[in-house]
Amino acid sequence: MQFPKCDETPLGVYPIVDRAHKLETLYRCGITTAQLRIKDMTGDALEAEIIKGIEISNVFDARFFVNDYWQLAIRHGAYGVHLGQEDIQEAEIGALYDAGLRLGISSHTPKEIEIALSFEPSYLAIGPIYEPISKKMAYENVGLERLKQWAAKVNYPIVAIGGITQENIAKVAATKAASGIAMISAVLDSEGAISTERTKALMEAFVRDA
């Protein structure tokens, strides 16, 4: 069962945020794909954030992915879900498919790519391309050459992630391997809010070199 495509438009600059209210600023900058990744909430507060994220994204007709919480994504009609390697083993993939959600899956090695592709996802995330800024990874950096090599072997949209900043995004885009380039801290200012200036600079670099 192949999951629905994300349409033919490149996923583009793909910010990952920890609160739904940050989405509106991103979308007003022209971002078309975003992900809500929450690690410090549970229960009603978590559900309210996901609902808010879906509502804001629907207003802007954006491609909105929920990280991990696939049950809530189904319940409230999110555009898609992003899952890690461990998560896909525990999630009800058939329920996601039946609900018509898009599915993105993380991968860090050729073996993990093989596992991810067995689920026929909407896109495949590959990383870390560079040393991650937001967290330590147990995997070595993929780098640009391996990104190109691995992407060339699959017929799925690729999202490059990990350590991508305003300074190096053009190099990633120039590989022509990625439909989307994801980041967390690169769109934030020193206070942790969305920086319109940084976001637009990232988008300009992606378009110029895409």
Token readout for 188 is 């934030």
128 CA to centre of own chain: 13
- Residue 64 · residue 23 · CB < 8 Å: yes
pLDDT surpasses 70 at 122:
yes
Assess if CATH 3.20.20.70 describes domain 12-209. Answer: yes
Q: At what angle do helices 43-59 and 22-29 cross, to 10 degrees?
A: 20
Share of the chain above pLDDT 70, in %: 96
pLDDT tens, 8-64? 899 999 999 999 999 999 999 999 999 999 999 999 999 999 999 999 999 999 999
Q: How confident is the model at residue 163 (pLDDT cuts 50, 70, 90)?
A: very high
Indicate the DSSP class of residue 187: G
Whether this prediction's pTM lies above 0.85 is answered by: yes
As a whole number of angstroms, the distance between CA 60 and CA 100 comes to 20
Domain borders along the chain are 12-209
Q: How confident is the model at residue 137 (pLDDT cuts 50, 70, 90)?
A: low
Q: What pLDDT does residue 132 have? A: 79
